[in-house]
Chain A
Amino acid sequence: MLRKIFIYHVPLSFLFIVETYAAESGGMPQLNPKFWISQIFWLTVTFGFLYIVLSKLILPKISANLEIRKSQILENVEAAEKQRKESEDKIKAYDKIIQDSKIKAKNYYNQVREKILKDINKKKESLDKDLNEEINKAELEIKDLKNNSPEKITKIAIETSNDLIKQLIGVEVNNSSISAIVEDLSKRNKREYHGN
């Protein structure tokens, strides 16, 4: 593209140069050496000044600015990364705490449950035992009563019948004969009762 511009411009410009050369005796002012030395001098002064100021004062500052920005951005990125890691760690720790406390709570619950169950069992057992004892006692009493009651009844019956007979007839009856009759009767009753 540059070459194209160059090729297009140069012949055209030379046309004009020829034209102006005809119009004015001066021709191309660029080729007039009158101010060459002056231009070289001022070019050296201005460009030298520009170069020195740029290279000593301004460019190092710009480069430092760029470096500072770069390092600052890197630092920020690093800090962000660090914080991200920290927050991740914290989330992990938080999760762990929650997990641990869950397990703890479960364990505690289980323990308490077991303890309560044990207590209940213990109490139940002791209660059962007590009950059994009571029942046994009652049963024994009942058995005792059962065993003793016929004899007592028989005895009472004998005595009562003896008294009755004595008062009714005024005759002393032999105890043993009465008891034989009472026993016979009570046996019959018993059979009837148990026969049910």
Chain B
Amino acid sequence: MATNPMHQFEVYRIGPEIKIGAIDISFTNASLFMVISSFAILLVFNLGSKKNSLIPNKMQLLAELSYTFVSKMISDTAGSKAKPYFAFIFSIFMFVLFCNMFGMIPYTFTVTSHIIVTFMLAAFIFIGVTIIGFIKHGLGYLKLFVPSGVPVVLLPLIVVIEIISYLSRPISLSVRLFANMMAGHTMMKVFGGFVISLGIVGGWLPLSFSVALTGLEILVAFLQAYVFAILTCIYLNDALNLHH
């Protein structure tokens, strides 16, 4: 059972069963790591913002660098109008990043390797961005589906394609993160299993591969969080500055 590479994604209940009516909202290992990630983020940034010294200490530097990194990312992709959504994008980025990074610790659970979690985040972003677009531009937001400078003959086709691409945004956003995390962790588990099965003679090759893969996965963990956040910014940019 332990060699099954999918076993690590198993969700199980921790503590008592909590039920509201027929709905089961029990605390699970997934919930545990969501809570751990959130509290880790709050701890780091609370420590980083507690003391304001002119020359920042390590935690303060970390917090301020993250702040300026996300703030620059938003202003680069979505402009100054996206400032009110800074806190949300910052939270999304940090949440995904910390969940990914906690998943890199052995015997932990990767929250973002579950399609339901990433899909909920992506769906929330999608719905939120659509509402913002309609509030800012009214029905003019539908112009998003009609790119300028397209021949009239092609217009019906283009509009259909645009609508499909718009509607597939939450799916692509969620599947990208979920598949990356799941595939990476599965691969690592598989190579770990190879190390055991090949033993001391042949196990060195998959071991070295596993080590290299760990580095790659840490990179992917950061990169996917960044991609998730920057795509959110890009969608937000579409809704705020309609220029198609």
Contact = CB atoms under 8 A, between A and B. Distances in A.
Interface residues of B, number: 62
Interface in A17-61: 17, 20, 23-24, 26-32, 34-44, 46-47, 49-51, 53-55, 57-59, 61
Contact of A42 (B4, B30, B178, B184): B30
Interface in B33-83: 34-35, 37-38, 41-42, 45-46, 48-49, 52, 54, 56, 60, 63-64, 67-68
Given A29-B11, A39-B30, A6 B4 contact: no
B45 A2 contact: no
A90 interface: no
Given A6-B179, A10-B179, A39-B114, A59 B90 contact: yes
A62 B54 CA distance: 13
Given A20-B4, A46-B34, A68 B28 contact: no
Given A29-B6, A58-B42, A42 B52 contact: no
Given A2-B223, A54-B90, A40 B116 contact: yes
B130 interface: no
A192 B60 CA distance: 129
Contacts of B187: 9, 12-13, 16
B23 A39 contact: no
A168 interface: no
A42 B24 contact: no
A50 B38 contact: yes
Contacts of B87: 51, 54-55, 59
A10 B176 CA distance: 10
Interface centre among B26, B34, B42, B227 (most CB of A within 10 A): B34
A149 interface: no
A47 B34 contact: yes
Contacts of B46: 57-58
A43 B179 contact: no
A13 B182 contact: yes
B212 interface: no
Contacts of A69: 52, 54, 56
Interface of A: 1-2, 5-6, 9-10, 12-13, 16-17, 20, 23-24, 26-32, 34-44, 46-47, 49-51, 53-55, 57-59, 61-66, 68-69, 72
5 contacts: A12-B187, A13-B182, A27-B6, A29-B9, A39-B31
